[in-house]
Structure 1
């Protein structure tokens, strides 16, 4: 099993099915429409096509995670979330670095993602890793007030 160092005494490891409830809680705390535990269980059940990375301590208390989808030579960052109390400490950066590092050992050559175009912190993080905008998706993210945010589609080469 690969382990990567992360800030605040954490490390990044591969996610497992047993992590699904914690991932669902973190996701619900960071997004208007959180995914249910069953959805995370389904994703985590197939690490060959949907690897997950968790920032965790020695007791497996999860502070953040990243979930990918792999298809042929492309990958997609499905979602990334960090406990709101632990944001701004480099955990998201550590998760993304681990995922991209792991992908260099696969046939994947490109990663795509969508991000709310108003999420400056996330966009800055992605740009640090070489992601560039390649398009938009209008009305992609629902908001609590009934409106919908535009997603910026970004792409980066792997390796």
Structure 2
């Protein structure tokens, strides 16, 4: 049973890795990230030399606890941001949470002074593609056989974040999405 409150977004911390891994394995069973991958990303997310931004969406449960219902991460290198992952729990699809997570990553890209933001998503994940397109991402190519196993191609998308063409606001009516790049 889930809470009735809108999930709150906050910085992902090391103690979130285990619940994030549970969600990761549910959503991406064949190409889930490892604990070490999340540790490595979080190691670069704090301090003056930070090049990563990871957030979780957390909702209160009826039992008084909380649970992670989404997460997202961005890496920056120079003036290019790369969305590493966005995931939304199945019971949160269609609530606008994917758009909220993406908005937070685009804020981070602005803070990192990224001129463009890149991402990959499965060619068969139309829901995610539609979300990204609403935010102004455009398809620019493919990575053949990127997702393993299964040899599924990735669609590469780019958003130019020049000051006069800032990211589209996206809507809160988007359908839930999952992307793992």
TM-score normalised by structure 1 residue count: 0.87
The aligned counterpart of 2:125 is: 119
CA RMSD of aligned residues (A): 1.7
The aligned counterpart of 1:39 is: 37
Whether the 8 Å contact between 1:112 and 1:156 is mirrored in structure 2 is yes
The aligned counterpart of 2:155 is: 152
Residue pairs, 1:1-159, within 5 angstroms: 8-31=5-28, 32-47=30-45, 48-57=50-59, 60-143=66-149, 147-158=150-161, 159=166
Deviation at 1:103, TM superposition (A): 2.3
Separation in structure 1 between the aligned mates of residue 137 and residue 108 of structure 2, nearest angstrom: 17
For CA contacts below 8 A with separation 6 or more, give which structure has more relative contact order: 2
Number of residue pairs the alignment of both structures matches: 150
Q: Which runs of 5+ in 2 are unaligned?
A: 167-181
Whether the 8 Å contact between 2:88 and 2:97 is mirrored in structure 1 is yes
User: Which has more radius of gyration?
Assistant: 2
Q: Which runs of 5+ in 1 are unaligned?
A: 1-6
Superposed structure 1 runs of 4+ greater than 6 Å apart: none
TM-score normalised by structure 2 residue count: 0.77
Deviation at 1:90, TM superposition (A): 1.1
Whether the 8 Å contact between 1:20 and 1:44 is mirrored in structure 2 is no
